[in-house]
């Protein structure tokens, strides 16, 4: 099959490379010439484990190419995927669909023969109807079907998620489109990945429901963590105790600084907006968003409390800036709010991240970046672990303690055992666990 992928960001590039690896002929298109030029030189515009090798292999085998102009690739394509961004619209939280609609117009203008237009971007219910209307209006003669195929991959594990998905969701009632989509995903079908075919609107809503549910789980365990701190219980043990119940499941029950990233914040807001527009408000998610927002400020307060009530003039070392490990994505990372709040309270922030520093520079001003965790700790009045990169799980703690000006560690990801940290001479604070001295 011939595939045109419109938008070559975290989702478009990974999906395009994986479809090429399945044997299809794929062109990844992006409006950003710098991105496409980098890809043509063999450089990845994002950090995603395994992506560079997968792209190189498929370029070498002539199944994957890159372009800034969609005309040629779309004309030849059996399926055209829209994988452009759908950020929050300023002001009301609704998904900004302008990139999706612009892409739909551009595709319609050049498409040729029966073409399946697939929205892979996360889009509110009814967007497929609007894409169909735009294509029809632009090209009344076109032979096409609009399908919803939301993407569930996670940054940091994107390739294995795409190749071994929990499920594939295809929203269409068009028989020809179903055949094209089955052919595209055939290797996964052979691997017995569950393929769900639903109506387009059901597929669109399912993606939001999935992300919102995960945001609920995270927020729930974060609030339980707060209660654990008050009553002297251990949230990790509570999470294990409930997670072993198959009805609950153990994933997404790690207490921490609140969810962030390029999806959950905007998708929860967009779902709230859709639900309000249809007069069926989802109050659970409205509460989750409010609680998560407050949590980021509370995390800065936790650091301030660990520093004896003030950080004015103090150097705070921050380990981990990206919203989770194994990505360089800084969008809505909890580190951004925490660092801003610490700076407002008078702290001088020094930070390290294994992959995110380049992206972080665009978001964070007045932060000094260290080359490694030890330089970051040097002379600092406290060290805060914000993202649980593997590199931070195996720190030489004696060296960290010697380098720190004061042996204070605030671990917002619970990666170290409190009693061990206490023994090593740290004043150690984590999330929802006794601090060590009480054990
Ligand atoms: N990032 C994730 O982990 C993830 C996971 C699942 C779903 N999604 C969804 O997938 C969509 C894309 O997310 P992303 O993180 O890949 O975004 P991104 O910002 O990394 O990439 C979007 C790309 O689209 C390009 N673009 C915009 N308009 C274009 C046009 N008309 N023609 C060509 N290129 C165009 C942009 O230049 C950009 O490179 C969003 O709706 C998102 O919610 C993201």
For residue 86, how far is its CA from the centre of ligand 1 (angstroms)?
A: 7
Q: What's the pLDDT band for 436 if we cut at 50, 70, 90?
A: low
Contact 353, 321 (CB under 8 A): yes
Q: What is the mean pLDDT of residues 43-70?
A: 98
* Nearest atom (ligand 1) to Cα of 154: 3
Which are the contacts of 216, defined by CB distance < 8 A and separation ≥ 6? 284, 285, 288
- 119-166 pLDDT, tens digit per residue, is 999 999 999 999 999 999 999 999 999 999 999 999 999 999 999 999
For residue 233, how far is its CA from the centre of ligand 1 (angstroms)?
A: 42
d(CA 7, CA 84): 5
- 231-255 pLDDT, tens digit per residue, is 999 999 999 999 999 999 999 999 9
For residue 262, how far is its CA from the centre of ligand 1 (angstroms)?
A: 10
Average pLDDT across the chain, whole number: 97
Burial class (CB in 10 A: 0-12, 13-18, 19+), 177: buried
Site to probe by mutation for ligand 1, drawn from 96, 154, 262, 268 as the one with most ligand atoms within 8 Å of Cβ, is: 262
Collapsing DSSP to helix, strand or coil, 349 comes out as strand
Pocket (CB within 6 angstroms of ligand 1):
6-12, 29-32, 35, 83-86, 99, 102-103, 106, 121-122, 151, 153, 155, 262-263
Please identify every residue annotated as catalytic.
263
Give the per-residue SS3 of 380-399.
CCEEEECCCCHHHHCCCHHH
* Nearest atom (ligand 1) to Cα of 35: 39
For residue 205, how far is its CA from the centre of ligand 1 (angstroms)?
A: 18
Smallest CA-to-CA distance from 299 within 332, 263, 255, 266 is with 255
């Amino acid at each position: 099959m011939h595939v045109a992928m419109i938008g070559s960001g975290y989702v478009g590039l990974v999906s395009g490379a994986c479809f090429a690896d399945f044997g299809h002929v794929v062109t990844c298109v992006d409006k950003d010439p710098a991105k496409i030029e980098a890809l043509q030189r063999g450089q990845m515009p994002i950090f995603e484990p395994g992506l560079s090798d997968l792209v190189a292999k498929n370029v070498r085998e002539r199944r994957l190419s890159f372009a800034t102009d969609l005309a040629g690739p779309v004309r030849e394509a059996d399926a055209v995927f829209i994988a452009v961004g759908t950020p929050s619209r300023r002001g009301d939280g609704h998904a900004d669909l302008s990139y999706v609609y612009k892409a739909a117009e551009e595709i319609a203008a050049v498409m040729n023969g029966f073409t399946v237009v697939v929205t892979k971007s996360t889009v509110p219910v009814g967007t497929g109807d609007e894409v169909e209307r735009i294509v029809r209006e632009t090209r009344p003669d076109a032979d096409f079907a609009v399908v919803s195929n939301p993407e569930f991959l996670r940054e940091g594990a994107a390739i294995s998620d795409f190749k071994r998905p929990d499920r594939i969701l295809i929203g269409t009632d068009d028989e020809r489109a179903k055949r094209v989509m089955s052919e595209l995903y055939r290797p996964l079908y052979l691997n017995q990945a569950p393929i769900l075919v639903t109506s387009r609107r059901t597929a669109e809503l399912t993606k939001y429901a999935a992300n919102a549910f995960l945001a609920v789980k995270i927020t729930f365990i974060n609030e339980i963590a707060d209660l654990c701190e008050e009553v002297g219980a251990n949230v990790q043990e509570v999470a294990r105790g409930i997670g072993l119940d198959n009805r609950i499941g153990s994933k997404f029950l790690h207490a921490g600084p609140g969810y962030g990233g390029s999806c959950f914040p905007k998708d929860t807001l967009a779902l709230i907006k859709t639900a309000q527009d249809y007069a069926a408000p989802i109050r659970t998610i409205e509460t989750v968003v409010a609680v998560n927002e407050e949590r980021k400020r509370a995390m800065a307060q936790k650091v301030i409390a660990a520093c004896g009530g003030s950080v004015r003039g103090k150097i705070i070392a921050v380990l981990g800036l990206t919203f989770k490990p194994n990505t360089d994505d800084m969008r809505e990372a909890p580190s951004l709010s925490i660092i801003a709040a610490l700076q407002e309270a008078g702290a001088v922030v020094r930070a390290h991240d294994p992959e995110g520093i380049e992206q972080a520079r665009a978001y964070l001003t007045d932060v000094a970046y260290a080359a490694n965790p030890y330089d970051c700790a040097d002379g600092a009045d406290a060290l805060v672990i914000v993202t649980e990169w593997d590199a931070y799980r195996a720190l030489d703690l004696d060296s960290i303690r010697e380098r720190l000006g004061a042996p204070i560690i605030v671990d917002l990801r619970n990666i170290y055992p409190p009693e061990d940290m206490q023994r090593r001479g740290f004043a150690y604070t984590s999330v929802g666990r006794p601090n060590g001295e009480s054990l």
